Amino acid sequence: MSFARLLPLLLLVPALSFADADKNFKVAPNQFSTGSVVEPVANMAVEAKGAAMVSQKPVFPLKSNNLYWRHKKGPKEYQWVQGQVNFTNFKKLHAFSLGQAHLNSFEVAQMRFYASQNKKAFQDEDDLYFDKYFIYSPRVPKLFFIKNGKWQILNETDLPGVAVIKSDRKDVYAAFEDAPTKKLPKAVYPLQPDTYVFMFSAPGTLPVADIGVVKSGEVLVMKPQLVAIDADASKAPDLSVGISDVKKTKNLEETEILFDQFIAELQKVVDLVDTNEFVKLYPKMKSAESVGLYSGEPNYETYRSAYEGSRMKAKSDWLNSNMKGVPELNTAFKKKLDSLQALPLRGSMAPTSFEPVTDKVVEGEDSTAAKMKAVRFKFGKDKERFDVAWEGTAKGLTAEELYKLFTEHASEVTVYITIKQNKPVWIRKDGVITGRHHYRYTRIEFEYQGKNMVGLGDFSLPGYIVDEPEVQEWLNHYDAEDIALQQGAAAEAKAKAAAAKESAKNDTVYAKDAYMPEFTKMSIPRIIRDNTFGAVALIDSGMFRYRGSVVRLSPFAIMTTEMTQKLFDQTMLRQQDTTKRIKDRSSFKNPSKPVHNITWDDARAACKLLGGDLPTEAQWEFAGRADNNEGALWTIDETADVGDYAIYRENSYKRGKKSEAYGPQMVASKKPNAWGIYDMSGNVAEWTRDKYFMFSFWVESSNPTGAMMGFSKVYKGGSWKDGESALNLTKSDDEDPRYWSDAIGFRCVFPRKLFEGR
């Protein structure tokens, strides 16, 4: 045989020798006994539970926060015990980092370790401890092992520390600042020696952030200072207004004055709670020096940020707790206002001025020859509750006759005005009510010497009232009967008829602004597909009913799908500072699936990197409902089937983890809404820009931005884990902005100017 053919065999001999040698220095799976009683040893680092411990087969991966003891009972028999740490004996162990040695817990649990290289295969250490990150020896500071036929060494590293959370309460929720959704047990180990920021909360208490330093081999004891929220009646706000006062009001104006008083007093209460009682009770932020740090160090700045965030959330909770009785009082106001505003209003009102309205004069003709076609009356004063004009004639009178009647007998004429509902529009500026103005004028009558004459013409409102979305909706959403009446009255006015049929239908004139267009459905947005932004819908300005009010939105653009993992990765590459790139923590991996497990802050940062932002709740809901008042898209179909539009509990979560349908699915896999926008219901819920506050007394009439106060952020749409009711587009939920979940993702909105000319 030639040397060339012999060489591979020669090379194979040492390899086979090494393999055989490694085998002798390992613990075979059948060498772990099952069911045998494990006798305790001195300084045992695992807590013995009960009278006896029983050996088990190793199961991988090892569980977090558990310590595993491997005890050699005989030359070829090992026992394996799982338990909690005995902290006193844990301090006496020597630790060896698996990460630094590029080993994992699965392989080291089946390797034999030795105090020196002079040992025989069977002379390995009797007792060793394991967890997911370390191996521990109660005897020696160095461990030797055979790998690939060669002796190798593990050098001792810092013994990890332990954090123990002590509280009289059993329901304390503890988490690390960087993983707020992962609840910590009462004892946390192993922890690398370092500074840690903790988040603490419990039902009925204010959340708080704390900081502690874990030292090598030592136990850090954290005692959270949880301030209880006092829900006693004595904590109700000191308001002069009560439900009984609301019930006593006799008319709408009285109720409005009382409501304004209530809001003003409530704001004072809010300011008082924030600056006094809360500040006294809430735990103070620890100084950097008290934990052995310097102000400005990254670890301390992380704590400062977490503390300020928790304090803001706590302040919001505290404020809510001091609002006992306020929701009931607000409900009483709403009920009373609704009942009074639903009533029609008819009353006499003297005009503040009147003037003739003539036909346009043809150039070159004598202006005095112009024919009078109507009379214009002005009622009320500028910016007051009644501020309206009316132009027309009266039934049975020409314009000249009506004008002459007021010129000669104004004091003898009574003018009656009818308002369909006694509901003025509330105009606000920066959240403060600046005026209330009537706008639902429907009928005018003139009474002279016992004769009643119905007016034939139109009411007109000043621009500052017409501009309010609530007013525009009312002007443009007459029912069919109203439109017919209005058109009939207008025809009579134009013809200057001397008489009309005796009918209430034709006697009534309905308010109409000549400058307001007839109500039409919005046009379907144009979809632009772009490598940078994905598919984007360009939505025009419009009005819609939102949280009980009519609001106006400016034009904007919105992603037609949730942010996908592929687009997210591309977006992060735009961030030149690699330290600021946000990691995709999605657990259901697929380039076409939505990003999830993302906090509000990270989601917003990603949108801003693209030149956009998270949508406001109003923008999100406007785009989702697609010019429709229904909150559930599937109810529009003849055969309602939520599964046609949404990935939700029934067709995803309930299928179980073994099903491909379990978890978020690829975007746009269900039907879109009428505007071509997908997954607004289900798949993953979506962060919005808005804050959440328990009590919200108003909604901005233009581009609402949510509550002024509050810490939590609003998310909408429901997810693959939710039932049908949670998918309603008008519903919302709120959560800590640091929270992340496999059920929450996001999509971005953009200024329309980014897409001009495209």
User: Which of 46-60, 397-411, 487-501 has the highest average model confidence (pLDDT)?
Assistant: 397-411
State the pLDDT confidence band at 507, using cuts at 50, 70 and 90: very low
Tell me, what's the pLDDT at 4?
43
Beta-strand relationship, 219-222 and 161-165:
parallel
* Nearest of 44, 32, 25 to residue 144 by alpha carbon: 25
d(C-alpha 396, C-alpha 456), whole Å: 10
Span 685-693, mean pLDDT?
A: 92
* Number of Cβ within a 10 Å radius of residue 741: 18
Span 623-643, mean pLDDT?
A: 78
| High-pLDDT (> 90) share of the chain, % | 62
Span 427-436, mean pLDDT?
A: 83
State the pLDDT confidence band at 543, using cuts at 50, 70 and 90: confident
d(C-alpha 417, C-alpha 454), whole Å: 10
Contact residues for 18 (Cβ-Cβ < 8 A; gap 6+):
148, 149, 150
Dig out the tokens for 52 from the structure. Answer: 């006896």
On whether the CB atoms of residues 239 and 323 are closer than 8 A, the answer is no
Strands (DSSP E) found in 183-302: 187-191, 194-201, 208-214, 219-222
User: Which of 51-60, 514-523, 560-569 has the highest average model confidence (pLDDT)?
Assistant: 560-569
State the pLDDT confidence band at 668, using cuts at 50, 70 and 90: very high
Dig out the tokens for 258 from the structure. Answer: 């009382």
- Tell me the CA distances in angstroms from 253 to 240, 246, 423, 464, one per residue in order: 18, 12, 11, 21
Span 158-172, mean pLDDT?
A: 94
Amino acid symbol at 433: I
Span 640-660, mean pLDDT?
A: 93
Average pLDDT, the chain: 85
- Residue 160's φ and ψ, nearest 5 degrees, are -65, 165
Assess whether pLDDT exceeds 50 at residue 517. Answer: no
Q: CATH 3.90.1580.10 in the chain, residues?
A: 526-755
Is residue 270 helix, strand or coil?
helix
Span 672-688, mean pLDDT?
A: 95
Q: What is the CA radius of gyration of the chain?
A: 38
Is residue 603 helix, strand or coil?
helix
State the pLDDT confidence band at 301, using cuts at 50, 70 and 90: very high
Assess whether pLDDT exceeds 60 at residue 657. Answer: yes
- Tell me the CA distances in angstroms from 278 to 206, 303, 692, one per residue in order: 10, 20, 20
d(C-alpha 107, C-alpha 29), whole Å: 12
Assess whether pLDDT exceeds 60 at residue 103. Answer: yes
* Sign of the Cα pseudo-torsion (509, 513, 517, 520, in order): negative
Tell me, what's the pLDDT at 264?
86
- Tell me the CA distances in angstroms from 577 to 305, 582, 614, 697, one per residue in order: 21, 11, 22, 43
Tell me, what's the pLDDT at 317?
83
* Number of Cβ within a 10 Å radius of residue 145: 22
d(C-alpha 533, C-alpha 567), whole Å: 8
Span 719-726, mean pLDDT?
A: 94
DSSP for 123-186, written as a single string: ---SEEEE-SSEEEESS-SEEEEEETTEEEEEE-BPPPEEEEE--S-S--EEEETTBTTS---S
Span 600-627, mean pLDDT?
A: 94
User: Which of 340-344, 442-446, 517-521, 632-636 has the highest average model confidence (pLDDT)?
Assistant: 442-446
State the pLDDT confidence band at 2, using cuts at 50, 70 and 90: very low
State the pLDDT confidence band at 705, using cuts at 50, 70 and 90: confident
State the pLDDT confidence band at 490, using cuts at 50, 70 and 90: very low
d(C-alpha 396, C-alpha 399), whole Å: 10
State pLDDT tens for residues 166-204. Answer: 999 999 999 998 777 788 999 998 999 999 999 999 999
d(C-alpha 490, C-alpha 483), whole Å: 10
99-113, 406-420, 510-524: lowest mean pLDDT where? 510-524
Tell me, what's the pLDDT at 500?
35
State the pLDDT confidence band at 379, using cuts at 50, 70 and 90: very high
On whether the CB atoms of residues 543 and 737 are closer than 8 A, the answer is no
Tell me, what's the pLDDT at 221?
96
Q: What is the DSSP letter of 292?
A: T
Assess whether pLDDT exceeds 70 at residue 160. Answer: yes
Higher per-residue pLDDT: 125 or 636: 125
Label residue 618 left, alpha or beta by phi (over 0 means left) and psi (-120 to 50 means alpha): alpha
CATH of domain 526-755: 3.90.1580.10
State pLDDT tens for residues 729-754. Answer: 989 999 989 899 999 999 999 999 88
On whether the CB atoms of residues 636 and 626 are closer than 8 A, the answer is no
Dig out the tokens for 702 from the structure. Answer: 């233009």
* Sign of the Cα pseudo-torsion (28, 31, 34, 37, in order): negative
pTM confidence score: 0.58
State the pLDDT confidence band at 392, using cuts at 50, 70 and 90: very high
Span 452-462, mean pLDDT?
A: 95
363-372, 589-598, 655-664: lowest mean pLDDT where? 363-372
Span 462-484, mean pLDDT?
A: 67
On whether the CB atoms of residues 742 and 597 are closer than 8 A, the answer is yes
State the pLDDT confidence band at 369, using cuts at 50, 70 and 90: low
Span 596-624, mean pLDDT?
A: 95
Question: Within 25-114, where are the H helices?
Answer: 87-90, 105-108
State the pLDDT confidence band at 471, using cuts at 50, 70 and 90: confident
d(C-alpha 554, C-alpha 751), whole Å: 10
On whether the CB atoms of residues 331 and 242 are closer than 8 A, the answer is no
SS percent in the chain: helix, strand, coil, step 5 = 30, 25, 45
* Sign of the Cα pseudo-torsion (292, 293, 299, 305, in order): positive
Cα of first residue to Cα of last residue in the chain, in angstroms, is 76
d(C-alpha 304, C-alpha 298), whole Å: 10
Amino acid symbol at 575: Q
d(C-alpha 389, C-alpha 403), whole Å: 15
Tell me, what's the pLDDT at 20?
47
- How many Cα neighbours within 13 Å face the side chain of 715? 29
State the pLDDT confidence band at 722, using cuts at 50, 70 and 90: very high
Tell me, what's the pLDDT at 237?
78
Residue matched to tokens 């009320």 = 380
Higher per-residue pLDDT: 486 or 642: 642
Assess whether pLDDT exceeds 50 at residue 672. Answer: yes
Tell me, what's the pLDDT at 303?
95
* Nearest of 750, 717, 714 to residue 617 by alpha carbon: 714
Cα angle 74, 78, 82 (rounded to 5 degrees) comes to 145
State the pLDDT confidence band at 544, using cuts at 50, 70 and 90: confident
Assess whether pLDDT exceeds 80 at residue 551. Answer: yes
Tell me, what's the pLDDT at 756?
78
Assess whether pLDDT exceeds 60 at residue 127. Answer: yes
Tell me, what's the pLDDT at 77?
96
Tell me, what's the pLDDT at 638?
59
Tell me, what's the pLDDT at 232?
61
